[in-house]
Amino acid sequence: MRVAMISMHTSPLQQPGSGDAGGMNVYIASTARQLARKGISVDVYTRATRPSQGEVVEVEPNLRVVNIVAGPYEGLDKEALPTQLAAFAGGVLLFARCAALSYDVIHSHYWLSGQVGWLLRDVWRIPLVHTAHTLAAVKNEHISAEDSPESEARRICEQQIVDNADRLVVNTREEADNLQRHYDAAPDSITVIPPGADTELFTPGTERATERCRRELGIPLHAKVVAFVGRLQEFKGPQVLIRAVAELVRRDPQRNLRVIVCGGPSGRSATPEQYRELAEELGVARRIRFLDPRPPEELVTVYRAADIVAVPSYNESFGLVAIEAQAAGTPVVASRVGGLPIAVADGKSGRLVGSHEPGDWADVLSELLDDDDTRIAMGEAAVGHAAEFSWPRTATHLEDLYRAVTAHAPERCYSRRAAG
């Protein structure tokens, strides 16, 4: 079997945690690797952003990333990428034709790639599987006060993909419900396949290993540590954690608390400075250490160094950071939104917070920070909970789905439908 994965706006080889790279990058890279190790040939098509990348990157046997030139290498943000859909699709078609490639199935990721996948599906006459990862209607429903809403143009494009894809893959039952509620998706067109985590890399550390992690990060050994890992944008909620920390310090100025914020800015208006300035304004700058995004093999150090990992997002399709942190033996405090109630076992492997109010977050954080026995027990339970999610399991479900859609490709696979 040969699979064409489409990830136009971000490469699976890009460092997660900055720019447009995040959980989706981890998802694509991890599932592609696992499928390749099953003997399935996977080509991931993405937009070239540097001339030094080369056209083809051989990642491992059966897996390569193909960099398609579509627009300038630099200076083109995600909002401008729709202007390059035709160039990108044309580049994919040209590469495949020149290499005499044929594929059995297309799997597109995110709505920009879905538009390309829709075209390729009709040209190549093979099934299209699509994973949205985020949806405009859902993002707008859960938007923070500081964020700009997603455009109606994006919503229309998503509707077209929903109407034309042969199968829609989602992470959770809630995502399936959102597709039906906001986009009138047919229930039998949706397949729920939970993502996973690298449970071989993200493992608990010993007490001595935790001390070493803290020394490497310059964190006091006896402080209580809360970590945030992810892109620095309002939608991910780093400002929620910073304000909650300020509230904790206001209640108890002597509290021995440190915070790690690991990630880079995402979006045109986002900068690390705005969060540093917020911490300075609230009087907690000396308690917060900002780190650049880190590769997974270094990120495990952050998880192990923390007593709690905070995921204060306004919405998450699943929440890979939450699973990775739990696999490393660290309990998670997360927003009760999206797929996070599945990623975090409330009261067992962590806690869920029903709002984004700093006081509510301060209440939950203080309860766990001050109750060592409960927090440690949650960390132990978190490892078992995370073990239920693995990338090999995700890849197996995807392989089954690919074989099903190729064996029973419906007639609508080769027809077009407009949407408005």
Closest CA to 15 of 26, 6, 7, 5: 26
- CA angle at residue 266 from 129 to 282, to 5 degrees? 140
Residue 352 phi, psi (nearest 5): -110, 140
* 65-79, 134-148, 302-316, 330-344, range with the lowest pLDDT: 134-148
Distance CA 319, CA 171 (A): 10
- Measured from the Cβ of residue 384, the count of other Cβ atoms closer than 10 Å reads 13
Write the DSSP assignment of 10-59 as a string of letters: S-TTSPTTSTT-SHHHHHHHHHHHHHHHTT-EEEEEEE---GGG-SEEEE
Residue 410 has pLDDT above 70, yes or no: no
Please, which residues have CB within 8 angstroms of residue 391's CB and are 6 or more apart in sequence? 30, 31, 33, 34, 195, 196, 197, 198
The CATH class of the 207-386 domain is alpha beta
Distance CA 177, CA 190 (A): 10
Question: Could you tell me which residues are annotated as the binding site for 1D-myo-inositol 3-phosphate?
Answer: 9, 20-25, 78, 110, 134, 154
248-293 pLDDT, tens per residue? 999 999 999 999 999 988 765 667 789 999 999 999 999 999 999 8
CB 2 within 8 A of CB 40: yes
Q: Give the pLDDT of residue 358.
A: 96
Domains in the chain: boundaries: 2-196+391-414, 207-386
Which residue, chain included where needed, has tokens 């690390």? 272
CB 108 within 8 A of CB 162: no
Q: How confident is the model at residue 317 (pLDDT cuts 50, 70, 90)?
A: confident
Residue 57 has pLDDT above 90, yes or no: yes
Question: Could you tell me which residues are annotated as the binding site for Mg(2+)?
Answer: 303-304, 306, 330
Which residue blocks in 335-417 are alpha helix, DSSP H? 340-343, 358-370, 372-386, 391-407
Question: Could you tell me which residues are annotated as the binding site?
Answer: 9, 15-16, 20-25, 78, 110, 134, 154, 231, 236, 294, 303-304, 306, 316, 324, 330
Rounded to two decimals, the pTM is 0.82
Q: Give the pLDDT of residue 267.
A: 62
What is the average pLDDT value for the chain, to the nearest integer?
92
Q: Distance between alpha carbon 136 and the CA centroid of its chain, in Å? A: 16
Q: How many residues does the chain have?
A: 420
Query: Per the CATH hierarchy, to which homologous superfamily does domain 2-196+391-414 belong?
Result: Glycogen Phosphorylase B; (3.40.50.2000)
Domains 2-196+391-414 and 207-386 in one fold: yes
Closest CA to 378 of 346, 418, 335, 409: 346
Average pLDDT over residues 339-348: 94
Question: Could you tell me which residues are annotated as the binding site for UDP-N-acetyl-alpha-D-glucosamine?
Answer: 15-16, 23, 231, 236, 294, 316, 324
Please, which residues have CB within 8 angstroms of residue 72's CB and are 6 or more apart in sequence? none
**235 or 380, which is more confident:** 380
Q: Residue 77 burial (CB < 10 Å; 0-12/13-18/19+)?
A: exposed
